Amino acid sequence: MKTAPLGIIMNGVTGRMGTNQHLMRSLMEIRKEGGLPAGDQCIIPEPLLVGRNEAKLKALSDQCGGLPWSTDLDAVLSDDQYQVYFDALSTVLRVEGTRKAIRAGKDVYLEKPIATTSEEALSLYHAAEEAGVKHGVVQDKLWLPGLLKLKHLIDTGFFGRILSVRGEFGYWVFEGDGVPMQRPSWNYKKAEGGGIILDMLCHWRYVIDNLFGNINSVTCLGEIHVRRRWDEAGNIFEVDTDDAAYATFVTEPGIVCQFNSSWATRVRRDDLLTLHVDGEKASAVAGLTQCQIQPAAATPRYVWNPDEGKTLEYASHWTLMPDTENYKNAFRAQWELFLKHVVLDTPFHWNLLEGAKGVQLAELGMESWQRRTWLDVPDLV
């Protein structure tokens, strides 16, 4: 089997997500295993680290055995050795670097949100199409084991007609005074691309579109629950963008999807993300890795009687789905599909248009909050 080295410019991967998920658990793992088999060849990712902080870049390079690194994006974009540009910068910085990469003829793969406005997001899609480069957006949650199990149930008709979906996401992000925040402070600053609506409605767009049908309409309420935080340097700042979002979506098949997203909630549920799906024939609750099911034949006949109190262990009437395969890291699973798309031209549905749809939904969510009304979700192109 011949090897196919593939140079990948990785911009902004010194942050937690870029380092852990995209570099270490995806591309470096593929390299450790000798590459990615693809047809009669084996793709060998060759990362080049790019960023602004030389010390962080060198430390990450050393951690990975001496990967090349640079602080000069323009110079590396002119290097024909590198065919792919990956961007994990903060959202407000993503568009400029991506436009440069497209003009340089690079195939592009972007973290979401791909932009802060749907106009900018759509312009990236059109630019990539006109340049003839391959393009994709990270939509990692589709490859989480819990959601893969849920999709299997949907595809096999387990639910019958799906009635509704209830999504719960989030956890308590510490304010930063006593316990450091476990999310970067820019997430709570509007000028730096922060806000949970922009962040999470991009996720919910592709999750719902791919599992429950395209979203037709949305209503959303945002809120700033924690109004004062302390940044990484210990400086206090006023939070000026939403840290919670309470949204309802209706899909083309008429499925009602309610999603609560919050960085100001304490977790008492099966996982940091849970999707509760109710259908005529069955129900299921999926988390990040597991999925519990309850078919109609095993549904208890509950009767409301507040005088008796709790007489049943409700959780005991649910059955845990088994693992039927060895699930890969969700980010790696999509990386492998994109690498094969670049080298073999295999289909890749999760392109920049899909990324733009996520930004569009976030914009509509913010508009719905401001106007306090339902809004239709029009086609982008």
Express each pLDDT in 278-302 by its tens digit. Answer: 999 999 999 999 999 999 999 999 8
CA 284 to CA 293: how far, in whole Å? 4
* Residue in 302, 325, 298 with CA at minimum distance from that of residue 312: 302
Average pLDDT (268-278) is 98
Instruction: Tell me, yes or no, whether 148 and 294 share the same domain.
Output: yes
Q: Are 30 and 66 in contact (CB under 8 A)?
A: no
85-119 burial by CB neighbour count: b if 16+ within 10 A, else e?
A: bbbbbbbeebbebbbebbebebbbbbbbbbbbbbe
Residue 125 CB contacts under 8 Å (≥ 6 apart), including other chains: 135, 351, 352, 353, 355, 356
Same domain, 6 and 79: yes
Closest CA to 322 of 354, 293, 353: 293
Mean pLDDT of 25-37: 98
Query: Are residues 174 and 314 both part of a single domain?
Result: yes
The predicted pLDDT at position 309 comes to: 78
**Do residues 108 and 128 touch, judged by C-beta distance below 8 A?**
yes
Together in a domain, 167 and 266 = yes
For 64-104, the pLDDT digits (tens) are 999 999 999 999 999 999 999 999 999 999 999 999 999 99
Same structural domain for residues 264 and 345?
no
Percentage of the chain surpassing pLDDT 90? 96
176 forms beta bridges with none
pLDDT at 160: 98
| CA–CA separation, 50 and 157 (whole Å) | 46
On whether residue 378 sits in a domain, the answer given is no
Residues 16 and 79 grouped into a single domain: yes
What sign has the CA pseudo-torsion 338, 341, 342, 344? positive
Please indicate, yes or no, if residue 376 is contained in any of the structural domains.
no
CA dihedral angle for residue 136, residue 140, residue 144, residue 147, rounded to 10 degrees: -80
Residue 380 lies in a domain: no
The pLDDT, as a whole number, for residue 284 is 98
Task: Show the tokens assigned to 376.
Answer: 């239709």
Indicate whether 107 pLDDT > 90: yes
Q: Is the peptide bond before 145 cis (omega within 30 degrees of 0)?
A: no
Residues 6+ apart with CB under 8 A from 143: 327, 328, 330, 331, 333, 334
The helix/strand/coil state of 239 is coil
pLDDT band for 148, please (50, 70, 90 cuts): very high
Range scoring the smallest mean pLDDT among 82-86, 117-121, 170-174, 303-307: 303-307
Let me know whether 180 and 231 are in one domain.
yes
Whether 215 and 240 have beta carbons less than 8 Å apart is answered as no
Give the integer Cα–Cα distance in Å for 87 and 15: 12
Q: What is the pLDDT of residues 301-343, one digit of tens each?
A: 988 888 887 778 899 999 999 999 999 999 999 999 999 999 9
State the total domains in the chain: 2
**Per the domain annotation, does 97 fall within a domain?**
yes
pLDDT value for 1: 81
Residue 283 maps to a domain = yes
**Are 227 and 307 within one domain?**
yes
Statement to judge: residues 338 and 320 lie in one domain: no
> What domain range is 335 assigned to?
2-140+330-351
The pLDDT of residue 308:
83
What value does the mean pLDDT of the chain take? Answer: 97
Helix (H) or strand (E) holding 286: strand 282-286
Structure tokens at 334: 């999509």
* 309/339 same-domain check: no
Asked if residue 45 lies in contact with residue 29, where contact means CB atoms within 8 angstroms, the answer is: no
Residue length of the chain:
381
CATH classification of the domain holding 148: 3.30.360.10
- C-alpha 51/C-alpha 56 separation (Å) is 9
Of 29-43, 125-139, 231-245, 294-308, the one with minimum mean pLDDT is: 294-308
> Whole-angstrom Cα distance, residue 6 to residue 351?
20
Q: What share of the chain is helix, strand, coil (3-state, %, to 5)?
A: 35, 25, 35
CA angle 332, 337, 342 (to 5 degrees): 120
pLDDT confidence band for 169 (50 / 70 / 90): very high
Do 53 and 98 share a domain, yes or no? Answer: yes
Q: Does 377 fall in a domain?
A: no
pLDDT at 303: 87
> Given a cut of 90, is residue 348 above it in pLDDT?
yes
Residues 157 and 300 in one domain: yes
pLDDT at 62: 98
For 17, 90, 231, the CA distances from 175, given in Å and listed in that order, are: 20, 20, 9
> What pTM does this model have?
0.96
In a domain, 379, yes or no: no
Check residue 305 and give its pLDDT.
Answer: 85
CATH number, domain with residue 11: 3.40.50.720
For residue 92, tell me if it sits in a domain. yes
